[in-house]
Homo-oligomer: A and B are copies of this chain.
Amino acid sequence: MIEIYNGPLDVKEVISRWLDEINGKNWGAFIPFVGIVRKEDGIEALSFDIYEPILEKWFDDWQKKAKEKGAILKMAHSRGVVPVFTSSYISAVMSPKRRIALDLIDEFVEDFKANAPIWKYDVIDGERIYAEARSTAMNGAGLMSKKD
């Protein structure tokens, strides 16, 4: 299950809770990835739309892949407005072995960026502007295009 929150994430709460989950279990490596909104190009915040049904399926597929390697994935993401210097995204891997954990968090975060159905907007002077230049067409994009 993905945790979706309105506004910024409480990073300490989320990570502490995930740490409690691994406590007493036989995980050897725990790697969280914390994404924080950077102050750049005059933005005051980012804002996010999420399409949950497809996001959950995307995550379930990754959870299956992780389980085949003996690992577990966790993920929390913000919906709506997230001010600069606060966190919009945390994911984590728990694995018996470090090598599997390091590979998985990398692959998971990269695929998340490319294929999780989440849309990002810069908030500048209160206006919400689609971050088109930083966005990536999903796998399978262009299926209905008449260009080909």
Which residues on A are within 8 Å of B, measured CB to CB? 11-12, 15-16, 19, 22-40, 85, 96, 98, 101-102, 105-106, 109-110, 113
A40 to B16, CA, bound (A): 25
Of all chain B residues, which has the CB nearest A112? B98
A-B contact pairs, 22 of them (CB 8 A): A16-B16, A19-B34, A26-B38, A26-B40, A26-B85, A27-B38, A28-B36, A28-B37, A29-B33, A29-B34, A29-B35, A30-B33, A31-B31, A31-B32, A31-B33, A31-B34, A33-B101, A33-B102, A35-B98, A102-B105, A102-B106, A106-B106
Of all chain B residues, which has the CB nearest A15? B15
Interfacial chain B residues near A33, Cβ < 8 Å = 29-31, 98, 101-102
- B19 with A12: CB separation less than 8 A: yes
- A12 with B16: CB separation less than 8 A: yes
Number of copies of this kind of chain in the complex = 2
Helix, strand, loop or mixed for chain A's interface?
Answer: mixed
Interfacial chain B residues near A30, Cβ < 8 Å = 33-34, 36
A39 to B16, CA, bound (A): 22
A28 to B38, CA, bound (A): 6
A109 to B101, CA, bound (A): 11
Interfacial chain B residues near A19, Cβ < 8 Å = 11-12, 34
Interfacial chain B residues near A85, Cβ < 8 Å = 23-26
Interfacial chain B residues near A25, Cβ < 8 Å = 85
A27 to B37, CA, bound (A): 8
